[in-house]
Amino acid sequence: MMNQMFFVGLPYLALFLLVAGSILRYVWNPFSYSALSSQFLEKNALLWGTLSWHIGILIILLGHLPAFLVPELWKSLTSNFVFLLTVETVGVMASILCIAGLIILIVRRVVSGKLQQVTTVIDILLLVLILLQVVIGLSMALMHRWGAVWSTGTTTPYLWSILTFRPDISYIEEMPLLVQAHIVMAWIILMLVPFSRLVHIFSFPFQYFFRPPQKVVWVSERRKEHDDSLVVVQESRRDFVKGALGLSVAGALLSVGVLDKLAGFFYKPEVSVEEESKLLEQKLKRLEQTAEERTYQLERMKKEFIYVSRLNQLDIEKGKYFIDYLMRPALAFLGKDGLPILISAKCTHLGCTVGSELDNQGRILCPCHVSYFNINTGMPNQGAPALDPLPHLGWVIMNANNEIILEQDPSGKRYGNVNVSSIDKSNRVFIAKKHKE
């Protein structure tokens, strides 16, 4: 329910407010369609702040586009490690530039008395939200590495599903909280655009192409008499035209992509009654499945022990999957010492289920973005997208009389005084509620 609200309801509300709010503002108050320059009031901090902010945010937002517009091409480009590393490094540098610029802009607005007169609460709120969004984006890029690759199969199809009015949140439902926060924050920022000075991004100044060059200066009668440079200022428009052309090409690419998907939505084949009832049946089945899962989860929560396997059914090279107390997948192996190794099978990168077979270096593979985890230490290989180890689970071994003969907690500490070689291999291995995180 919460997911539907944040990832379906919020986006459509944001898009509606963005479009309707921007149009209404233009109709009611066209002169407010501007960034409302404050250069006259303070320009030293503005120069550094606005330069870092605009360079940083332009690189970041342009960097978001290829994964969204040409995901297949982007995926194949980023499969080259040098390219991927370059893209990610540029992203991190642009984020830092952006953060520095935003901090200067926020401090400038808060500190300067003159600026406070022309600053609204929403201006400050938006600056802070964008700062937060950039910090979340940067943390995400650092903690869930190689977003340039994984975004093509997750956030990209989710965004297209929203824009083509066929919302599908399954792509992002299971993603880490940081990624979900980044998406929610993006919708909130979008929603506030029409009510803030950010609306100036829509006021593309076409008249600049045609009108004579102008430079705005403070003029007083006294200054006019002493300063000849105020008479005519001739400046080249070449740089502006170049920048504008770049932006137009990016804008055109974006509109082609969006129009193509929208056309796909409106000209899709009609759904027959049979097809519709089949869809409903599938939906019902999914709901029943969810209800069953929840019941199963509740039952598990009540149990002190959950059965994993008999000791003699565990293998050194091939793990046996089981579900832990929190319904997450886990794997049980037999260690070289003849005792169980229980390890989470939920990848610490983005949550895929890792494979169950050991490679020749004693590691299991997460196939989603290729992270190898050593099952003894849980550690991922160097350079893997995953940074954190897979956690181990505690276990207990019970004999036929349901007595615990040996036990190990998740940190590896053993309880029980029994010679391993004397343990009956038909004894059963369990996970225990007391070891649950």
- Enumerate binding residues for ligand FES (CB under 6 A): 347, 349-350, 352, 366, 368-369, 371, 385-386
Q: What is residue 425's DSSP assignment?
A: T
List Cβ neighbours of 188 (8 Å cut-off, separation of 6 or more): 10, 14, 129
Question: Of the two residues 186 and 354, which places its CB atom closer to ligand HEM in the complex?
Answer: 186
Binding positions for ligand HEM, rule: CB under 6 A: 60, 64, 88, 91-92, 95, 130, 133-134, 137-138, 140-141, 147-148, 151, 155, 159, 182-183, 186, 189
Question: Of the two residues 133 and 408, which places its CB atom closer to ligand HEM in the complex?
Answer: 133
- Residues 369 and 381: beta-carbon distance below 8 Å: no
Choosing among ligand HEM, ligand FES, none, which partner's interface includes residue 334 (Cβ < 5 to 8 Å by kind)?
A: none
Choosing among ligand HEM, ligand FES, none, which partner's interface includes residue 134 (Cβ < 5 to 8 Å by kind)?
A: ligand HEM
Smallest separation, CB 215 to ligand HEM (Å): 32
For helices 71-78 and 81-111, what crossing angle results, to 10°?
A: 110
Choosing among ligand HEM, ligand FES, none, which partner's interface includes residue 95 (Cβ < 5 to 8 Å by kind)?
A: ligand HEM
Question: Of the two residues 199 and 347, which places its CB atom closer to ligand FES in the complex?
Answer: 347
Q: Provide the pairing of β-strand 371-374 with 363-366.
A: antiparallel
Number of alpha carbons in the 13 Å side-chain half-sphere of residue 422: 5
Smallest separation, CB 247 to ligand HEM (Å): 17
Question: Of the two residues 102 and 431, which places its CB atom closer to ligand HEM in the complex?
Answer: 102
Q: Which residues of 278-304 are buried (b: 16+ CB within 10 A; e: fewer)?
A: eeeeeeeeeeeeeeeeeeeeeebeeee
Pairs from 330-335 (Cβ < 8 Å, separation ≥ 24): 330/393, 330/431, 331/356, 331/364, 331/375, 332/308, 332/395, 332/429, 333/358, 333/375, 335/376
Choosing among ligand HEM, ligand FES, none, which partner's interface includes residue 138 (Cβ < 5 to 8 Å by kind)?
A: ligand HEM
Question: Of the two residues 89 and 248, which places its CB atom closer to ligand HEM in the complex?
Answer: 89
Choosing among ligand FES, ligand HEM, none, which partner's interface includes residue 186 (Cβ < 5 to 8 Å by kind)?
A: ligand HEM
Beta strands in 185-300 (DSSP E): none
